Structure 1
Amino acid sequence: MSIIHASAQATAKDSIALIEQERIELELMQRRIREKQDSLVRERVKINEEQKRIEAAKRVEATRNNPAPLQSANAPTPIIISKRKVKNVVGFAPVQMLITGFDLFYERVIGEKTSIVLSGGYHGMENFPRQNSSGAGYSNSSTTLGTAFLGGDKVANYGVRVQVQLRAYLFEEVEVLEKLYIAPTFLYKHDEMVRLNNRYALNNSVSPEYNHYFAEAVVPGLDIGYQIKVLRYFTVNPFIGFMYTVPITGKDDANEVNIDFLNPYRQNLMVRTGLTIGFTF
C-alpha cells in the first residue's frame, strides 16, 4: 500500500514540474513576441523618418530647378475689385415729385437674398379751372402737371400713402442689393377728393362750390424691378407691376366722382410703373 502511495506522489511531483517548465517557456515566448513588436515599431519609425527626409529633399530639388519669379520693385500691385457690400438704401421717387407730390423709401437687408422696403409720401393732383386775372370768370386750364389723364368732372385729390414691399433678388447676393428682383407689395392710401360743382359754368362770375369726398383703400400687388448701381454709392431702380385696389371706406364717395380715364379709388386692376433713386450705406 505504501508503495502505491509513494508512486502517486512521484507522479504528482513530475506533473507539477512539467507545468512549471511549460509556464516558464510560455513567458519566454511572450517576451520574445514583445521584443519583436518593439523592433517592428522602431523599424516603422525609421521608415517614416526616411520618407520625410526623401520628400524634403525632393521639395528642395524642385525649388532649385524652378525658382519663383522675382517681382520687380516697379511692378504694379494687382488690384482685386470686389462689389461693395451694403445693407441699407434710402431714396425718393423723382417722377412723383415732379407730378403729384413726394415719395420716400428705406430698404434694409433682412435675410438671404431678401430685403424689406418701407415707403410713404404725400400726393396731390388738381384739375380745377383757374379764375381769370380779371376775376370775372374761370378758364379751363389745369393747375398742375399730370392732370391730362383726368377727364370728366373738375377734380382734385390729396392724400397720403404707406407701402411695405418684400424684395427677393434673383441673381445677386443680398448684401449687394443689385440687379433683378421680384417684390410682393402692400399699399395703404387715404385720400380726399374735391369736385367742382358742375352747375357753375366756366364763365360764371359766381364763386364755385366744391364737394368733398373721402376714400381709403388697400392695394396688394406684385412688382418686378432692376436696381442698378451708379457712381458707387447710388442706385437707379426702374420697375413695373400690377396692383389691385380694394376700397375699405368711402366707396360710395369714390363712385360720385366722374373721371373718364381711370378712377384710382374704385375697385380695379391696374398696371403701374415708376423709378426710384437711392443712396446706399
Structure 2
Amino acid sequence: MSLDKTKDFLLEIGTEELPPFQIGDLVSSLALNLEHELKKLALAHGPIKSYSSPRRLAVLISNLSHKQLDQPIEIRGPRIEIAFDSSGQPTAAAIKFAGLCGVAISQLDKIEDKKGALLFHKTIKPGQTAFHLLPEIIINSIKKLPIKRPMRWGKNMGPFVRPIHWLVAMFGQEVVPLEIFEIKASNYTFGHRFHHPDAIKISEPKQYENLLTEKGYVIADYNKRQQKIRDQILAATNFGSAVIPEGLLAEVTNLVEWP
C-alpha cells in the first residue's frame, strides 16, 4: 500500500466526566469496533492507538486507505437449455439475466459445471471511498460500546455513558460529515476544563496528542499520565520507597487530565 493513497484518521468523543472504572473498557472497545468495521468493509490501515482521559475517548488510525479495493463479482445465470430455445434464440430468462447484469446478451459468458453449461457474467465492483464510508463506520462503532448505565440528557439526547459536548472526526485534513446526538463533527478539540477550556484546532490527526499536551494541558496517553503520577509519588518520598496500590493508581489516572 503506497502511503500517498492513505491518510490518518482521528475520532475523539468529548464528554462530561466519565466513570473512571469504565474508561479503559470503553476506549478499548471503541478501537476494536473501529478495527472490526474497517475489516468488514475491506479498508486497509496501519497501527491503531487509543487515547483517553476523564473527558474524552479517542482513537488514531494511521495510514487508512483512501478507498476499498475493487471487488471482482461473479454472477451465475440460467442454464443454456433454459436461456435459449431450440432455434438458439434467447428466452425471457436470458434477457432478464442480461438486464440484471447491465450488458447485452452477446456480452455474457458461458461456463461449464458438473450439471452442464450456463450463462455467466464477471464484473468489477468499484471500491467506495473511506471518506464516504466513515460516518457509518463511526456510528456503528459507537453503538456497540459496552455502556453499563446509559443516560439521556437535554431534549432526550442519548443514550450514552455521559453527555457528549464535542466530536472530532478527521480523515487527513478533512472533517468527516457526521452528527451524533445533535453534535456535529469538527476539527476542534478542547483542553483541560480549567487550565485551557478553549477550543484547539487540529490541522491533521497526527498532531492530536502533542497539541493537547502543549496547548491544552491534557496528557491524553493513559500510560504516560499514569507514569507521571507514579513519578510524582516517588519524588514526594524523596526517592525512597512507596506502596502504590495499582487499583488506586488506575482510578486516579482516570480522574485527572493533567497530574
The TM-score with structure 1 as length reference comes to 0.23
Give the number of the structure with larger relative contact order, counting CA–CA contacts within 8 Å between residues 6 or more apart.
Answer: 2
Bigger share in strand: 1
